[in-house]
Amino acid sequence: MTDALGSIDMPERGRSEDDTAESKKKPRRGGKRGKKGPLARMALFYRQIVAELRKVVWPSRSQLSTYTTVVIVFVVIIIGLVTVIDLGINRVVGYVFG
Mind listing the pLDDT tens digit for each residue in 75-88?
999 999 999 999 99
**pLDDT > 60? residue 32:** no
State the pLDDT at residue 98: 80
Q: Cα(90)–Cα(95) distance, rounded to whole angstroms?
A: 9
Structure-model confidence comparison of residues 98 and 14, the more confident one: 98
Q: What are phi and psi of 15, to 5 degrees?
A: -80, 140
Q: In the chain, where are the structural domains located? A: 59-97
pLDDT digits (tens, 9 = 90+) for 35-61: 789 999 999 999 999 999 999 999 999
| pTM of the complete model | 0.48
Question: Is 24's pLDDT higher than 90?
Answer: no
Cβ 66 vs Cβ 74: under 8 Å: no
